[in-house]
Amino acid sequence: MKFVRYADGTSARVGVVDGDLVRVVDGPSDLLPLVEAGEAELLAAGRTALRRGATVPLRDIVPLSPIATPPTVRDFYAFEQHVRAGRAWRGLDMEPDWYELPVFYFSSPYAVMGCGPVPMTPGTERFDFELEVAAIVGRGGRDLTAGEGERAIAGYCVLNDWSGRDVQQREMKLSLGPVKGKDTATSLGPYFVTPDEIADRREGSGYRLDMTCTVNGVPYSRALWSDIHWSFGEMIAYASRGAEVRPGDVVGSGTCGTGCVLELSRTHGSTAYPWLRPGDEVVAAVEGLGELRNTVITGTAR
């Protein structure tokens, strides 16, 4: 099932995508209460909407983040190609422990948004997109196994982890972060797709689904979700070691190979792949999960 949250005047609504229509789920303005209620309640609400929900043309809505303010946002580092590129940018070799520990950082739940305008990191001259997949936890727990972590997933979304690279680079020289280089904006959506929708594309640690990104209509990124080294089950299990994961928690995959300007410009040059500027339209997409459409706007000066 494919859920979507969208603006309806001054409030928000939740619906289920049905072809070129959205069928409205009666009641909630956020998916979080349905996710917290459990898989059975979530799917029952969706089936009811498909039977008798009011309809809105899909083309007329602008998708919001499926969950307005997630309890937590953990962003992992699970695609090897991107990890190698990021470490090379900082003058570092590949760390053997990366193959043993699916590490992550906490990002800001308050910066989560859907499609629409995205403000640049304050003070950045090197603004970047980062193409990712996100899993949304539907069943909480602690000290989970990888299998339990996989079964805890309620749905998947596209995630774009916007980054001020120059700010990030300064922060990480101090052996902490990233923090202010990351927490201005995180795009999530456009849909919340339940695992059964893509189950037949399972391959390796992920799914054989294309991940792409364009800037102003120009192709930038292309990868396969199945290129991922760590599965979401393994990531959720690691997150839950001696700690809780809760329904609605967002777990990001980290950037896929070729999934950012940083990586592309190091390989092909900054003339071919310049840093993002106000007015740029960035479309991050994952096959089966939809397209996140955002336009970069000027952020605060400091």
7-24: pLDDT as tens digits: 998 899 999 999 999 999
Instruction: Look at residues 255, 103, 107, 90 and name the one whose alpha carbon lies nearest to residue 173.
Output: 90
CA 216, CA 274: separation in Å to the nearest integer?
12
Please give the structure tokens belonging to residue 301. Answer: 């000066």
Residue 172: its pLDDT value, please? 87
Mean pLDDT of the chain: 95
pLDDT exceeds 90 at position 123: yes
73-297 has CATH 3.90.850.10 classification? yes
> Are 147 and 233 within 8 A, CB to CB?
yes
The pLDDT, as a whole number, for residue 177 is: 84
pLDDT in tens, 146-200: 999 999 999 999 999 999 999 998 998 898 888 999 999 999 999 999 999 999 9
Residue 15 has what pLDDT? 98
pLDDT tens-place string over residues 249-290: 999 999 999 999 999 998 888 899 999 999 999 999 999 999
Alpha carbon distances (Å) from 12 to 127, 178, 185? 29, 31, 20
105/252 Cα distance (integer angstroms): 10
pTM for this prediction: 0.96
- Which amino acid, 160? N
Give the pLDDT of residue 87.
80
Around Cβ 28, how many Cβ atoms within 10 Å?
Answer: 15
Q: Render pLDDT for 81-106 as a digit per residue (tens, 0 to 9).
A: 888 887 877 788 888 999 999 999 99
Amino acid at 79: F
Map out the domains of the chain as residue ranges: 2-61, 73-297
Question: d(Cα 70, Cα 109) in Å, to the nearest integer?
Answer: 6
